[in-house]
Amino acid sequence: MQVYNTMTRKKEELVPLTPGVIRMYVCGPTVYNFFHIGNARPFVVFDTLRRYLEYKGYKVVLAQNFTDIDDKLINRANAEGTTVPEIAERYIKEYYRDADALSIERATVNPRATEHVDEIIALVETLIGRGHAYAADNGDVYFSVRSYPEYGKLSGQSIDDLESGARIDPTEHKRDPLDFAVWKGAKPGEPSWESPWGKGRPGWHIECSAMSMNILGETFDIHAGGQDLVFPHHENEIAQSEAATGKPFARYWMHNGYININNEKMSKSLGNFLLVRDIAKEFDLEAVRLFLLGAQYRNPVNFSRELIEQADTALSRIRTARERLDDAMKKPAEAPDPEDAAFLASVPEFRARWEEAMDDDLNTADALGVLFDFTRSLNSFVSEPRGIEALEAADAFMKDVCRVMGLLQHRREEEFPLEALALLAQRGAARAARDWARADAIREELKALGFAVEDGKDGAKLKRL
RNA sequence: GGCACCAUAGCCAAGCGGUAAGGCAGAGGUCUGCAAAACCUUCAUCCCCGGUUCGAUUCCGGGUGGUGCCUCCA
């Protein structure tokens, strides 16, 4: 599989450090609020990557962190008159709720910064010991950017250009404006941990370095996140980690593009964000997932309600095909059908095309095109009873694609309320009596209850609206 | 100022050297009591100007327009 590596700015063959195993780290949420659709993109995209790698037979160790201590949590806790751990606990729970609805599989580990303070302190001590960090007189510890000559290699920035643009904050105790905090001395009332530099808490960048290296090793395969993390977050992670270990940190850096609203980046600071939680009130979040996978992950995508509606309609197209296949499998042809052979032969071709798209830097947009092509072919095929072998081949492919792309993973209620079933039966009777007016009236009643009726060869079927 | 990215039909979005996947919407048709679903048909020459090439949406140069990072941010 080819993967675009931000470090080299080109697509490269993904070759894991340990054959058959992929170790990857995805920057997770700072848990001080529900997450918005922009935050959802990396979670969905890299979940899809993880699933695809597993489909290809890799064992994937995926770590996605929760940043559960930082200024935003502290502010939120103060504003609500509660504690930082309470805020973190709440929004971690809410994260899982939304992530589940988006069919995001649980990571292998979800490390929390506060559970890795010892490792963070050890890492800071190593950096100081090697002359890459220094303790300031206020209890802060800073990383010395100029002590790491390769600084800027990920973002393509030169230290001198950065220097000229760096903001100087007189309240900080840096030796150089480029330096950044790896440990923050505690201010009164803030949560803090004992350290060699007094009470304090981890800096943001260092926690990802400490957690990723502790869980995945000093050198691991993939480090991923949003494009806005390239600088400074990931640049700083590289500097800290490689300065501390003298070894390469992550080998492939993958970054997703933004979600825009009206061609402007969606962000919490701009206030133009839409919470996934709010979209869930109106739509099955798998429609959001389909929307996100409808574009190649590195390209920016515009968000609008209309686009989610489009995705929702498209999703139902896949769902209908899935249901038609299920029905076909319940009553296959007695003997193989003459058309089975051609269809059976086409399935591996669809699969090959789908894999080719996924192998090309996770081109999910292209891969979805293959799914829809297959959907059309399948819909035609199952319009007549077919041999079970061909149907099972279609089923296996459909399941693989849907599992990897995280679509149709929600259990839908099979059971319909008795009231609706009774109406359906009454309508059937009316139709048998050619009482069309009554049949249509009942259809309207069912619609009001949230069900559509579809008449087919084998009688009428109910569908949830 | 530095570093990147993008420009394909009404709306999204792949493709990236040989004459434009797919989805949504629209039009016509098949099926249906009607509908729905499904299927069939139909709907673009790829921002502009140069250049390279037998041939460019696809490569190069120059425009124009838009975005992001350089500060917390997915």
Does any strand B atom come closer than 7 Å to the Cβ of A379? yes
Nearest nt (C1') from A264 Cα? B67
What pLDDT, on the 0 to 100 scale, is given for residue A270?
75
Whether the CB-CB separation of A298 and A322 falls below 8 Å is answered with no
Nearest nt (C1') from A43 Cα? B74
Nearest nt (C1') from A290 Cα? B23
Nearest nt (C1') from A323 Cα? B37
Side by side, the strands of the sheet bearing A259-261 are A264-265, A259-261, A301-302
Nearest nt (C1') from A453 Cα? B36
Nearest nt (C1') from A260 Cα? B67
Q: What average pLDDT does the segment A132-159 reach?
A: 91
Interface confidence, given as ipTM, is: 0.95
Phi, psi of A430 (to 5 degrees): -60, -40
Which 287-316 positions of A have CB less than 7 A from strand B?
Answer: 294-296, 299-302, 306-307, 309-311, 313-314
What pLDDT, on the 0 to 100 scale, is given for residue A173?
80
CA trace torsion A235, A241, A247, A249 (10° rounding): -50
What pLDDT, on the 0 to 100 scale, is given for residue A265?
80
Nearest to A56 by CA among A409, A358, A364: A358
Does any strand B atom come closer than 7 Å to the Cβ of A372? yes
Protein-covered nucleotides of chain B (CB closer than 7 Å) are: 1-6, 11-15, 21-25, 32-40, 66-74
pLDDT surpasses 70 at A164:
no
If you write DSSP's letter for every residue of A252-275 in order, what string do you get?
Answer: EEEEE--EEETTEE--TTTT---B
What does the pLDDT look like over A389-432, one tens digit per residue? 999 999 999 999 999 999 999 877 678 899 999 999 999 999 99
pTM of the model: 0.95
Does any strand B atom come closer than 7 Å to the Cβ of A364? no
pLDDT surpasses 90 at A208:
yes
Does any strand B atom come closer than 7 Å to the Cβ of A167? yes
Instruction: Provide, in whole angstroms, the distance separating residue A299's CA from nucleotide B64's C1'.
Output: 22
Q: What is the distance, to the nearest Å, from the Cα of residue A375 to the centroid of all Cα atoms in its chain?
A: 25
Does any strand B atom come closer than 7 Å to the Cβ of A264? yes
Instruction: Provide, in whole angstroms, the distance separating residue A366's CA from nucleotide B19's C1'.
Output: 21
CA separation, residue A33 to residues A36, A73, A167 (Å) = 9, 9, 28
Does any strand B atom come closer than 7 Å to the Cβ of A459? no
Does any strand B atom come closer than 7 Å to the Cβ of A209? no
Instruction: Provide, in whole angstroms, the distance separating residue A195's CA from nucleotide B24's C1'.
Output: 57
What pLDDT, on the 0 to 100 scale, is given for residue A177?
85
What does the pLDDT look like over A247-287, one tens digit per residue? 999 999 999 999 988 777 887 777 788 999 999 999 999 99
Q: A306 is written with which tokens?
A: 């209309």
Nearest nt (C1') from A312 Cα? B24
Does any strand B atom come closer than 7 Å to the Cβ of A159? no
Which 12-71 positions of A have CB less than 7 A from strand B?
Answer: 27, 29-30, 38-39, 41-42
CA trace torsion A100, A295, A258, A66 (10° rounding): 20
Residue closest to sugar C1' of B24 by CA: A310
Does any strand B atom come closer than 7 Å to the Cβ of A346? no
Residue closest to sugar C1' of B40 by CA: A380
| % chain A with pLDDT above 70 | 97
Q: What average pLDDT does the segment A118-133 reach?
A: 96
Residue A29 pLDDT class (50, 70, 90 cuts)? very high
What pLDDT, on the 0 to 100 scale, is given for residue A220?
97
pLDDT surpasses 70 at A146:
yes
Task: Report chain A's mean pLDDT, rounded to a whole number.
Answer: 93
